Structure 1
Amino acid sequence: MEPQQFADTYIMANASYFPSEKIVLIKDKLSTLPEQRQSTIQSIPLKNPMIVLLLSLLFGGLAIDRFYLGDIGKGILKIISLFLIVGFIWVFLDIYLCYKKAKEMNFNKIMLIS
């Protein structure tokens, strides 16, 4: 597949996985990608921001959202701090923070590989 066509197709299928302000950067990077590397990009596992959002809403107090993102240390700290007032604030704040972090992690994966 031509690099420009690959970039357009990939962005169309996966735009919701990345920060909207960085879609142009990803598209530019993918449009210069050699055809041999296209399968590598397609095989990168991306974290679904909607799954993170649901985990935050349903199981935020148990830090399942942080564990899903690979933030083991922050997850343990979140569980420990839940017994304090700060922990309750953190649970609600993390709904937004984890959603944004999932998109940023996906962006970083693509930029490192390509």
Structure 2
Amino acid sequence: MDAQKVDMFMMTNAKFFESHQVYNIRNILLEIDESKWIYISSIQFKDPTNMLIVSILAGAWGIDRFLIGDTGIGIGKLLTCGGFGIWAIVDLFLIMGATREKNLETFMMHARL
């Protein structure tokens, strides 16, 4: 793929990934076919900061996990009121990393199409 498009994508979307993943994502983008650009450029990533805010406000009910696609964990948090509060507090520290991991999974799924 064209290096200019890759750089534009990375400048726009680097905040949605862990910093150690950005280099690998850039290399993957440089190697993929130009025809996949429309799929890659149309991906809607979840914002880790927004997920942290949701986790602060409604994490005890599992809404943060439902939004990133962890339905099983979301149901567990919903049924236990956030693990009696403990799970909700722990998730305040983990939700941003989990969101970035889900974004990487989404990217990899579209890059393989």
Q: TM-score, normalised by structure 2?
A: 0.88
Q: Counterpart amino acid of 2:14?
A: A
Q: Counterpart amino acid of 2:47?
A: N
In structure 1, what is the equivalent of residue 97 of structure 2?
A: 100
Would you say 1:22 and 2:26 are equivalent positions?
A: no
Shift of residue 82, structure 1, vs aligned partner: 2.6
Give unmatched runs, 5+ long, in structure 2: none
CA-to-partner distance for each residue in 1:67-105, whole Å, 9 max, x for gaps? Answer: 11122221121122238xx43111011112221111111
CA distance, structure 2, for counterparts of residue 68 and residue 106 of structure 1: 12
Kindly indicate whether the alpha-carbon contact (under 8 Å) linking 1:6 and 1:31 is maintained by their aligned counterparts in 2: no
Q: Counterpart amino acid of 2:66?
A: F
Give unmatched runs, 5+ long, in structure 1: none
RMSD: 1.6
The DSSP-based 3-state class of the residue aligned with 2:85 is helix
Runs of 4+, deviation exceeding 6 Å: none
